[in-house]
Structure 1
Amino acid sequence: MDEPIIIYDLKQELHNQDIHYLLKRENVNICFFRFVGGNPSETDEVFKQLYRLKDSRTIVFGIFRFPFRFEGKQRMEIAIDQYFKLKKVCDSIIYFYSDGMMETLEEGTSIRDANILFEEFEKAPIRAIEEMVKNTGDINIDIRDIQSFIRNKDGALFVRTFEGNSFDEPLKHLISTPYLSQNFAEGNQLMVNIGYTNDVDMDAFRQINLRINDLFHKMEIFKIGSYLMDKPGRRLKITVMANGIVDPFEQKEDTKNLPLYRYWFANKWRKVTQKEKQNDWFSVMNKTAETIKKDRLQ
């Protein structure tokens, strides 16, 4: 029996034990790395560690949040550079606007409650992808589909889940939020996962598929999955995932050739030194075995 898929959720920092655990996994797993940009001291070492996962069987999603505009222009410029670096070392990246998150708050919301809500926004795509790969259904979307989908096209990833008993208002309004990309229908490919309760009829299923196709008509449909949510009533839960979404900011010319060779050399050197240590250990063990063998012969 295959091992269950592990969903790893890390925020803002990576420890050696996290990396060692993920590197030792033999089956394909998913790591979400959540990062709020803007702090210049939190860049190089984190991305160096993430680069080590390039050789593993772990799919790495970067979840990047841009700082608030009121934090200053310099902090935003640092965050933009960090976004493109994170995009380079991860398999795919999902981005959020902090200013858009602020727009969802009611007047007088405390900092504590705001942070709880922002945390929920960041975790929504994690839950959506986890549900896709762990729920078997009529037409199942598995981890191999996810892997192929995110590696097929360049650009950012858009993930959004919405649900309801009926969808009378335009679908675009249900999917659109101020804290996610507004260009979600302009990507390259689309994957959709549709959950339905016991009393949803085929006409409702057909209508939602038609509306999805109308909204995303410019995009190639990669796969549409469906699964039963074994509950009474009429309710649909829909996750749309679009790849090839345009980046939120233009990349500066002088940062397009990011010096990832430094991470490559660091990773290579680490492997060489580890191998030398391992060889030294084997050499000591072999010498010990030979000594024991001589003693026995004598």
Structure 2
Amino acid sequence: MATFELMEKMAPNAVIKVVGVGGGGGNAVAHMVSSQVDGVEFITANTDSQAIKNCGAKLQLQLGSNVTKGLGAGANPEVGRQAALEDRERIMDALQGADMVFITAGMGGGTGTGAAPVVAQLAKEMGILTVAVVTKPFPFEGRRRMQVAMKGIEELSQHVDSLITIPNEKLITVLGRNATMIQAFRAANDVLQGAVQGIADLIVRPGLINVDFADVRTVMNEMGLAMMGTGAARGDDRAQAAAEAAIQNPLLDDVNLNGANGILVNITAGPDLTMAEFDEIGRVVGEFAAEDATVVIGTALDPDMQDEVKVTVVATGLNRNAVRQPVRNDFGYEPVRKPRPQMEIVPNVQEVKRDGTTGLPIDAVPANTFNPAQGLASGLRRGASSSSAGDSAAPQAADFGGADYLDIPAFLRRQAD
């Protein structure tokens, strides 16, 4: 028999820190500082003494003064790594007290590629929930830089709980070739901002029923591949449209989301949000969740959002074995269903009928943990169940002659038809 728990007040807020490593990571932090993201602390770490001054973070760490003399890592990841190791004690001091750390970096250069894995390893050794959001180089930056980036991402993946990768190449596809460089990099930075702000809102916003940080840790701890998307919609069927937009990601066309083991959902809407809409969002999310997935849902009420619903989804523990079509890599095409090294995700470009009215969530944050197989109505913050859904899991589509078509959520199949 399932047990339920109602929380009337929240324990002291969890401490979330964002560490921007290298030039790309510093730019991402500067973007978030200028956007006034609430509920987090910002840190920048760089080997370049000039670049670090422009990030706006309260705490700035110049790495490897003896190794680099403040002149940067010279696009050499080993120099970046040695610089971070030189200042490991200062890094640990900066991370002290954090419950969750986001590490952001541009992979392919020296400091971000070499130092980010060191920062992640130190955070994990301190027992901190560690999530990385990194970018891959543009193709025109050369094959060698891409190889360096991929090696760095592989190393980083060994030391984080969840990893989100943004391929800069896709920014051209999504935004169009006429987009300016400023627009492109702002879109990439928006991905980190969306993930951090969405999770911070779930954790730190006060309310009658709150998301416990332990729930977030359960969803993201040791989960590996992750994705994040945001969608917004107005009018009829706005809940379904917003939820579908959040998970219809152009970068995920060749990756199957079915079987996600952990899902965070943040719903922001006005006071006119109905229970039917709340349940509809859960139904859409449940289509690609594993039967025994942990799903944490928070709802922020914003009276300034008239007739609009915004949904942010973070899915973790994704099935790397279910690839729907061949994927282009540096060495040709990978065969269908070969495991992928990481998940790639898109900036927030999926808003539907959005007029620019946003505003930060300011009201109650109800939360639910539910079994997608039973629906949202099954209860609030569920505890241990008497039986494991995984013991009687339904056959996968791959059991039926490798029918990839059945791997696709129903609403995507309908659109394809």
The two structures have a TM-score, normalised by structure 2, of 0.52
Deviation (angstroms), 1:60: 1.6
Contact 2:19–2:103 (CA under 8 A) maintained in structure 1: yes
**CA root-mean-square deviation:** 3.0
CA distance in 2, matches of 1:219, 1:171: 19
2:263 aligned partner? 190
1:40-79 matches, cutoff 5 A: 42-79=112-149
Percent identity between matched residues is 20
Unaligned runs of 5+ in 1: 252-298
Deviation (angstroms), 1:140: 2.7
1:177 aligned partner? 249
The 1:72–1:219 alpha-carbon spacing in structure 2 relative to 1, beyond 3 Å, is farther
* 2:224 is the alignment partner of 1:155: yes
The 1:183–1:40 alpha-carbon spacing in structure 2 relative to 1, beyond 3 Å, is farther
The 1:180–1:167 alpha-carbon spacing in structure 2 relative to 1, beyond 3 Å, is same
CA distance in 2, matches of 1:183, 1:231: 36
* 2:281 is the alignment partner of 1:208: yes
CA distance in 1, matches of 2:301, 2:250: 29
> Match for 2:105 among 26, 35, 50?
35
Amino acid at match of 1:207: E
Deviation per CA, 1:212-251, whole angstroms, max 9, x where unpaired? 22x3254533134232414164432322222112569755
> Match for 1:239 among 294, 312, 322?
312
CA distance in 2, matches of 1:103, 1:171: 22
CA distance in 1, matches of 2:252, 2:197: 16
CA distance in 1, matches of 2:313, 2:292: 13
CA distance in 1, matches of 2:264, 2:250: 22
> Match for 2:211 among 120, 138, 141?
141
The higher radius of gyration belongs to: 1
Deviation per CA, 1:37-72, whole angstroms, max 9, x where unpaired? 112565444423432222324322111211122322
The 1:135–1:57 alpha-carbon spacing in structure 2 relative to 1, beyond 3 Å, is same
Number of residue-to-residue matches in the alignment: 246
Deviation (angstroms), 1:117: 2.4
Contact 1:134–1:142 (CA under 8 A) maintained in structure 2: no
Contact 2:162–2:220 (CA under 8 A) maintained in structure 1: yes
The 1:9–1:45 alpha-carbon spacing in structure 2 relative to 1, beyond 3 Å, is closer
Contact 2:105–2:113 (CA under 8 A) maintained in structure 1: no
The 1:209–1:168 alpha-carbon spacing in structure 2 relative to 1, beyond 3 Å, is closer
CA distance in 1, matches of 2:245, 2:302: 28
Amino acid at match of 1:162: G
The 1:18–1:177 alpha-carbon spacing in structure 2 relative to 1, beyond 3 Å, is same
Q: Which has the higher helix share?
A: 1
Deviation per CA, 1:175-194, whole angstroms, max 9, x where unpaired? 22234674333433333333
Contact 1:135–1:227 (CA under 8 A) maintained in structure 2: no
Contact 1:40–1:78 (CA under 8 A) maintained in structure 2: no
Contact 2:260–2:293 (CA under 8 A) maintained in structure 1: no
Amino acid at match of 2:303: K
The two structures have a TM-score, normalised by structure 1, of 0.70
